[in-house]
Chain A
């Protein structure tokens, strides 16, 4: 008993010392700050917020829901019905049943509509986010493997590249002028990476600065918002196209996903 409280005291002192040491550098290195915040969650809660979202998603995934009272176990993410291991690594891709190129979020939504019988307006963003976190958790740290092959996938990649260079809005922005031309720089404290450097490899992720789970679509929407462009409606083509472009480029750069869901600022 006494040993244990000594041990806890030691850990607390260590934690305090560490956090004092880290406060000195937190302005300078956002990656270290994210790591520190992550450890604090581990210490105080024992579980990361992203893992909670994934657990919630797991429950939703196996629950019999919707007008057809079915689970999502028969949902095919491109590797066969119910195959979740590595599913995220090869999305977006073309699906003959919906005749659309779909990313993970859009695919989950299609399965909720087609398998469970939900009407689109009955599907909440929160459910999609939790389910996305769950399915993504089965691709933790795996190599990204998005290679556009079908004509639909290649067309989507080309659209994504065009949107990537599309300058618009009061801030005269496009994605490329920051993420390609100035990769390695910082906007405020945020490091800017190019797609080849693995931009997009941490989503879905818990953002501790927002205390929310962000999917890749949420993150793209946030990008548009921050440059003064009203973001597209969720599940629309601009998201699929940009995701296809970024993840195909990340594949060419031989990048892996981070732990899934990610943990970031």
Chain B
């Protein structure tokens, strides 16, 4: 009798946890990840929204999008001085540095830079949008946390992960928007 009660409870638990960490499949997955060693296992730990993206194969249901975007927007931080456009020259270095922005792995910025990738949209002449407050903020936010405007996008959350500080994010913003930047050079 007691045993049956226990099994019933276990079944309930299993049903509730099927899609979360506790399901047998998730346990098996964790076991496989652990077999790769502790450093790999550590690096493969997910935050809740990374896990959500994985669960829905990078296409989260419409009903979850609003809350997702809100959570991501709340993560954006701004420079202390409030200036969202910094120095485009420093921005250029961050844009091309593989250990920092690494932006040109996917985007063309300065068209003279050889070997830019084509995974993301080309950004040549991005500055033709002008430098209104709305454009600057949109650009800054996109660089700081790409998931705040597009859930589970390939573009990673550079600011959220601390790869770019708020000041550095402002530099990259300037590289894209400053009329003097090679991105916007008259051609």
Q: Does B58 contact A232, Cβ atoms closer than 8 Å?
A: no
User: Smallest CB–CB gap between B124 and chain A, Å?
Assistant: 16
B45 cross-chain contacts in A, Cβ below 8 A: 168
Interface centre among B33, B50, B105 (most CB of A within 10 A): B33
Pairwise interchain contact B54-A167, C-beta atoms closer than 8 A: yes
Interface readout for B145-156 with A: 1 if CB under 8 Å, 0 if not?
001000011101
Stretch at the interface among B7-15, B35-43, B83-91, B178-186: B35-43
B71 close to chain A: CB less than 8 A: no
> B35 and A238: CB pair below 8 A?
yes
A189 B37 Cβ-Cβ under 8 A: no
Taken together as a complex, chains A and B put the C-alpha atoms of A237 and B31 apart, in Å, by: 9
Interface residue? A176 (CB, 8 A): yes
Residues of A within 8 A of B154 (CB): 177-178, 181-182
B172 smallest CB distance to A (angstroms): 16
Which residue of chain B lies nearest to A241 when distances are taken between CB atoms in the complex?
A: B32
A 223-248 contacts with B by CB, 8 A:
224, 228-233, 236-239, 241
Given known A-B contacts A159-B32, A166-B46, A176-B57, A232 and B117 have beta carbons under 8 A apart:
no
State whether B35 touches A188 (Cβ < 8 A). no
Tell whether, in the assembled complex, residue B50 and residue A168 are in contact, meaning their CB atoms are under 8 Å apart: yes
Output the nearest chain A residue to B39 by Cβ-Cβ distance.
Answer: A230
In the complex the two chains form, is B37's CB within 8 Å of A232's CB? yes
Q: Give chain A residues whose Cβ lies under 8 Å from the Cβ of B147.
A: 172
Whether A186 lies near B119 (C-beta < 8 A) is: yes
Does A27 lie at the interface of the complex (its beta carbon under 8 Å from any beta carbon of B)? yes
Verify B28–A238 contact, CB threshold 8 A. no
Contact A188 B57 (CB under 8 A): no
Does B157 belong to the interface (CB within 8 Å)?
yes
Q: Are B117 and A188 in contact (CB under 8 A)?
A: yes
A170 touches B156 (CB 8 A): yes
Q: Given A172-B157, A182-B154, does the pair A165, B58 have CB atoms closer than 8 Å?
A: yes
Q: Give A188-240 interface residues, CB cut-off 8 Å to B.
A: 188-190, 192, 224, 228-233, 236-239
Q: Tell whether A233 pairs with B53 under 8 Å between CB atoms, given A159-B29, A168-B43, A185-B119.
A: no
Given A168-B43, A185-B117, answer yes or no on A158-B25 (Cβ-Cβ < 8 Å).
yes
Point out the residues of chain A lying under 8 angstroms from B20, CB to CB: none
Number of A-B contacts (CB under 8 A): 117
Verify A170–B163 contact, CB threshold 8 A: yes
Q: Given that A165-B57, A166-B54, A170-B161 are contacting pairs, would A177 and B152 also be in contact in the complex, using a CB cutoff of 8 Å?
A: yes
- Which residues of B are found within 8 Å of A185, using beta-carbon distances? 106, 117-119
A166-B44 contact in complex given A176-B57, A181-B154, A192-B119, C-beta closer than 8 Å: yes
Q: A169 at the A/B interface (Cβ < 8 Å)?
A: yes
Number of interface residues of A (CB under 8 A): 40
Query: Considering the chains assembled together, what is the distance between the CA atoms of A255 and B108 in angstroms?
Result: 32
Asked if A21 is an interface residue, CB under 8 A from chain B, the answer is no
User: Is B69 interfacial (CB 8 A cutoff)?
Assistant: no
Tell me, rounded to whole Å, the shortest Cβ–Cβ distance linking A181 to chain B.
7
B57 touches A172 (CB 8 A): no
- Compute how far the CA of A21 lies from the CA of B167 in the bound complex, rounded to whole angstroms: 45
A27 near B156: Cβ-Cβ < 8 Å: no
A165 to B153, CA, bound (A): 13
For the complex, give the distance between the alpha carbons of A170 and B163 in Å: 8
Interface status of A154 (Cβ within 8 A of chain B): no
Question: Which of B58, B116, B157 has the most A CB atoms < 10 Å from its CB?
Answer: B58
CB distance from A117 to the nearest CB of B (A): 24
Q: Point out residues on A near B: beta carbons under 8 Å.
A: 27, 155, 158-159, 162-163, 165-174, 176-178, 181-182, 185-190, 192, 224, 228-233, 236-239, 241
10 tightest A-B CB contacts, nearest first: A232-B36, A230-B39, A172-B156, A237-B32, A170-B161, A233-B37, A229-B43, A167-B50, A185-B119, A232-B40
